[in-house]
Chain A
Amino acid sequence: DAGITQSPRHKVTETGTPVTLRCHQTENHRYMYWYRQDPGHGLRLIHYSYGVKDTDKGEVSDGYSVSRSKTEDFLLTLESATSSQTSVYFCAIRTGTTQETQYFGPGTRLLVL
């Protein structure tokens, strides 16, 4: 257990509404990641953070923004949700000195109607 929690765990929203997902860690790790998992695509990186206020885009960042004002929290925002953003979202932290030691949270299942 790497001390990662995600909230909410499930959410149903309507197209066009803003949505914010939260990832919280208890161990002060520097690197945090947001992925989405979809059938036929596997896990794809949305954004990642390498410190407070330091973030960068991943493979599928369009339509998403992130913020990290504290080490322990990494927020993912869908400014105006679309049906294509229906997915399961996972947060991960990197615990080692290289990117391979990533541990994942339990996920947030988002349905955009």
Chain B
Amino acid sequence: TQLLEQSPQFLSIQEGENLTVYCNSSSVFSSLQWYRQEPGEGPVLLVTVVTGGEVKKLKRLTFQFGDARKDSSLHITAAQPGDTGLYLCAGALGYALNFGKGTSLLVTP
């Protein structure tokens, strides 16, 4: 069961542009994680958000957890080609993580 919906599915932008990726659900999660995955590799954890309304910054990446703990967003400022990859959100529910299908980001020079 896909509890998390990510949008957009695909995003192609030029270097220097800003972008936002969304992760939405009707379920309440105890926490939400964002991962980045490059081709041929496993997902790499970027951040975990736990508190409703929480905002975390990781260099040019800003993560926000919704007040009701049902949704999250990832904002990238001044995207660079090195940001290219598949961005996955995952919600902690019970014994496991539920993953969204991902947003595939391509940043061209």
Contacts and interface: CB of A to CB of B under 8 A. Distances in A.
Interface of A: 33, 40-45, 48, 56, 58-59, 90, 92, 98-107
A42 B50 CA distance: 22
29 contacts: A40-B101, A41-B2, A42-B2, A42-B88, A42-B100, A42-B101, A42-B102, A43-B43, A43-B99, A45-B96, A45-B97, A48-B95, A59-B1, A59-B96, A90-B43, A99-B92, A99-B97, A100-B32, A100-B48, A100-B50, A102-B33, A102-B45, A102-B90, A102-B97, A103-B45, A104-B44, A105-B42, A107-B40, A107-B42
Contacts of B33: 100, 102
A99 to B, nearest CB: 5
Contact of A101 (B41, B42, B48): B48
B59 to A, nearest CB: 20
Interface residues of B, number: 25
Contacts, number: 60
A41 B90 CA distance: 13
A100 B44 contact: no
Interface in B53-103: 88, 90, 92, 95-97, 99-102
A56 B31 CA distance: 22
Contacts of B99: 42-44
A98 B42 contact: no
A101 B45 contact: yes
